[in-house]
């Protein structure tokens, strides 16, 4: 703390540098830049609204006129209160893996950029969104080796088109346990609760402790009874297929290290590093709801910039993860020497054709964060092979270009964030948004609203839709689920990246 004043001075200098980079980063060769400047603050505030749109349960201080209480009896058949949480997208399934990922990303954004959010009075709403999910996850974890991973069955749910407030279909429950394990679902829930425990550490120590206890139990469960939940429940491959569970265990481990500064949690990172067959690290896996390898390795390499707990910045394990992270960036940046990422025709990083936008937005967050680590730690550049290197400004420029593209700086002049910009999708694939507030159609009657050729009567503010395909094409039609369905975690990813852009100060060196 004795370094506070010199730290503040460095912070000030960096802020000035960042302002310059920020202004410079907003200009690129694109001729449309000047007629389409992005207002990150406004976009951030709009994106935050989607968590209000997606809330299940008994709403508190609801601000969305067309939303009301729903799913009040979820969990009741097993004596649990699973009424809270958030719907995943345009339907009414509550699936723990993507929902917990939403909370983890919001927590991460708060831990790195919480003071930016505070400046624009969005820190409390962000914490509220996390708590709405972590309250649910705690209730979904009634004993150490049992975690409820889904409420609702897509086969039933997708046969209806109803508002959440009036849905009347069965809401079956699915849980993992010792015989039907799911290290991916348990690992992500653990990561969410561990990261949230840091967020709430000072403001609500009792709640924070509770979160940490559940996070630790879930971590042990995930490590002891290994398997993917989509192996235990093969039908879930059709809705939320998980490509594996080691990334979630890595993610949970590094979050628990940050939450406790207990080195024991790094043993799994060591194990994975030593496993010649694991390709998740330094590989080409883009961060998204299913794969967190790149996020986990970045959180570990953070320790090479800022000494945290008992780990020294020079420890080999830390340096190895720093190296994986550098390689990852040396693969995804354009004109990178190991370039193996793909750009769509619209210029966005390409992952796959279901919900394409999650990839550019998530990677932009990682890229911006790394550039802020570099600036805060006075790291001049990242070296790739063949004398190719990147500065923090190079990183920032690419990330901003991706974000600006998503917000409307693209050939279609379309903002893919609903409620933001002059032109945004009108036919969002979202049951609640598509049915007028004063109509209460039954399960089958509701399909008239899916088929209707009129724009949605309600604006799903803050929804980030799936977005354009690899050819840059986008057809704004409600039945076009791959492009028009928003997901709750998409908005969390966008909130994270915009929280980095709404102000120009730097990241905190340690979380706790
Ligand atoms: C709801 O609003 C009331 C009145 O503004 C406030 O006291 C209360 O803290 C709010 N509750 C939540 C959960 O935000
Ligand atoms: C850094 O930590 C301090 C003290 O915990 C907190 O007040 C501040 O908001 C944090 N800054 C960021 C960027 O989160
Ligand atoms: C796990 O759950 C299944 C039901 O989904 C049940 O049949 C099985 O007995 C449970 N295993 C344990 C160890 O409780
Ligand atoms: C689900 O993912 C697994 C692992 O990546 C894969 O083997 C399987 O084919 C996928 N299932 C479906 C239905 O896509
Ligand atoms: C670290 O965590 C391990 C495993 O949970 C535990 O056994 C050990 O006591 C912890 N160490 C400290 C210093 O808290
Ligand atoms: C909606 O459109 C689909 C496909 O065009 C059709 O099969 C279905 O019958 C229509 N439903 C209603 C209620 O109009």
CA of 362 to the centre of ligand 2 (A): 23
CA of 60 to the centre of ligand 1 (A): 7
The token pair that represents 112 in the structure block: 């790195």
CA of 117 to the centre of ligand 2 (A): 11
CA of 32 to the centre of ligand 1 (A): 43
Q: Of the residues 91, 290, 372, 394, which is catalytic? A: 91
pLDDT of residue 28: 42
Could you tell me if the CB of 508 is within 6 A of ligand 2? yes
The number of the ligand 1 atom at minimal distance from the alpha carbon of 61 is 1
Task: Clarify whether 429 is annotated catalytic.
Answer: yes
Q: What are phi and psi of 176, to 5 degrees?
A: -100, 155
pLDDT of residue 282: 84
The number of the ligand 5 atom at minimal distance from the alpha carbon of 220 is 5
pLDDT of residue 278: 82
Q: What are phi and psi of 158, to 5 degrees?
A: -75, -5
Residues in the chain with pLDDT values less than 70: 1-37, 386, 505-506
Q: What are phi and psi of 330, to 5 degrees?
A: -70, -5
The domain that holds 333 is classified in CATH as 1.50.10.10
* Residue pLDDT, tens place only, 213-267: 999 999 999 999 999 999 999 999 999 999 999 999 999 999 999 999 999 999 9
Is position 13 within any domain?
no
pLDDT of residue 119: 92
Residues 226 and 487: their CA atoms lie apart, in Å, by: 28
Which ligand is closest to the CA of 63, given by its number? 1
pLDDT of residue 506: 64
For 141, residues 6+ apart whose C-beta sits below 8 A from its C-beta are: 147, 148, 189, 214, 217, 218
Give the N- to C-terminal CA distance of the chain in Å, as an integer.
13
Residues 436 and 442: their CA atoms lie apart, in Å, by: 13
* Residue pLDDT, tens place only, 404-413: 999 999 999 9
Q: Which residues line ligand 6 (CB under 6 A)?
A: 447-448, 451
Is position 111 within any domain?
yes
Residues 241 and 229: their CA atoms lie apart, in Å, by: 9
Residue with tokens 């190296």: 323
Residues 109 and 238: their CA atoms lie apart, in Å, by: 30
Q: Which residue from 57, 76, 101, 28 is spatially nearest to 287, judged by alpha carbons?
A: 101
Is position 512 within any domain?
no
Task: Clarify whether 485 is annotated catalytic.
Answer: yes
Q: Which residue from 462, 459, 418 is spatially nearest to 46, judged by alpha carbons?
A: 462
Residues 336 and 343: their CA atoms lie apart, in Å, by: 13
pLDDT of residue 134: 98
The number of the ligand 1 atom at minimal distance from the alpha carbon of 60 is 13
pLDDT of residue 186: 98
* DSSP3 helix / strand / coil % (the chain, rounded to 5): 50, 5, 45
Range of the domain at 237: 33-61+68-502
Between CA 358 and CA 363, with CA 360 as vertex, the angle to 5 degrees is: 100
Is position 14 within any domain?
no
Between CA 19 and CA 24, with CA 21 as vertex, the angle to 5 degrees is: 110
Residues 295 and 109: their CA atoms lie apart, in Å, by: 12
The token pair that represents 298 in the structure block: 């970045």
Between CA 143 and CA 150, with CA 148 as vertex, the angle to 5 degrees is: 175
Pocket of ligand 1, candidates 55, 60, 129: which has the most ligand atoms within 8 Å of its Cβ, to mutate? 60
The token pair that represents 257 in the structure block: 């290290």
Count of domains for the chain: 1
Length of the chain as a residue count: 512
Is position 218 within any domain?
yes
pTM above 0.95, yes or no: no
pLDDT of residue 183: 98
Is position 511 within any domain?
no
Q: Of the residues 30, 445, 476, 477, which is catalytic? A: 476
pLDDT of residue 505: 54
Which ligand is closest to the CA of 160, given by its number? 6
10 Å Cβ neighbour count for 417?
A: 30
10 Å Cβ neighbour count for 469?
A: 18
Could you tell me if the CB of 237 is within 6 A of ligand 4? yes
Is position 16 within any domain?
no
């Amino acid at each position: 703390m004795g370094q506070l004043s010199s730290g503040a001075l460095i912070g000030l200098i960096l802020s000035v540098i960042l302002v310059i980079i920020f202004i410079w980063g907003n200009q690129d060769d694109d001729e449309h830049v000047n007629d389409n400047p992005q207002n990150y603050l406004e976009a951030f505030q709009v994106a935050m609204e989607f968590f209000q749109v997606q809330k299940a349960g008994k709403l508190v201080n609801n601000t969305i006129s067309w939303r009301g209480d729903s799913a009040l009896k979820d969990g009741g058949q097993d004596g649990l209160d699973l009424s809270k949480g958030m719907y995943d997208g345009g339907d009414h399934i509550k699936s723990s893996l993507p929902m917990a990922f939403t909370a983890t990303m919001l927590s991460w954004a708060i831990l790195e950029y919480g003071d930016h959010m505070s400046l624009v009075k969005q820190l409390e709403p962000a914490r509220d969104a996390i708590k709405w999910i972590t309250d649910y996850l705690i209730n979904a974890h009634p004993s150490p080796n049992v975690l409820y991973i889904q409420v609702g069955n897509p086969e039933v749910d997708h046969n209806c088109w109803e508002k959440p407030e009036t849905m009347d279909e069965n809401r079956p429950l699915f849980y993992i346990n010792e015989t039907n394990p799911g290290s991916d679902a348990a690992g992500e829930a653990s990561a969410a609760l561990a990261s949230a425990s840091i967020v709430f550490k000072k403001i609500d120590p009792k709640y924070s402790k509770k979160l940490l206890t559940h996070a630790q139990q879930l971590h042990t469960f995930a490590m002891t009874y290994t398997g993917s939940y989509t192996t235990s429940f093969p039908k879930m491959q059709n809705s939320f297929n998980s490509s594996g569970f080691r990334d979630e265990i890595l993610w949970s481990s590094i979050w628990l290290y940050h939450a406790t500064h207990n080195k024991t949690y790094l043993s799994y990172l060591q194990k994975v590093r030593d496993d010649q067959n694991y390709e998740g690290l330094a590989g080409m896996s883009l961060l998204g709801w299913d794969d967190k390898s790149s996020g986990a390795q970045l959180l570990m390499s953070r320790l090479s910039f800022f000494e945290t707990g008992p780990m020294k910045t020079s420890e080999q394990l830390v340096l190895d993860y720093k190296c994986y992270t550098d390689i990852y960036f040396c693969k995804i940046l354009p004109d990178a020497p190991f370039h193996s990422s793909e750009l769509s025709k619209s210029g966005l990083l390409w992952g796959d054709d279901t919900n394409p936008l999650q990839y550019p937005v998530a990677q932009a967050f990682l890229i911006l964060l790394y550039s802020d680590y570099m600036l805060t730690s006075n790291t001049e550049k990242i070296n790739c092979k063949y004398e190719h290197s990147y500065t923090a400004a190079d990183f920032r420029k690419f990330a901003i270009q991706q974000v600006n593209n998503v917000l409307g700086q693209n050939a279609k002049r379309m903002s893919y964030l609903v409620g933001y910009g002059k032109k945004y999708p009108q036919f969002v694939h979202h049951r609640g948004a598509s049915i007028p507030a004063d109509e209460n159609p039954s399960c089958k009657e509701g399909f008239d609203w899916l088929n209707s050729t009129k724009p949605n009567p309600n604006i799903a503010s803050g929804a980030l839709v799936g977005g354009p395909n690899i050819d840059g094409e986008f057809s704004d039609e409600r039945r076009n689920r791959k492009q028009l369905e928003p997901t709750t975690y998409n908005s969390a990813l966008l909130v994270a990246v915009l929280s980095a852009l709404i102000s120009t100060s730097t990241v905190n060196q340690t979380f706790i």
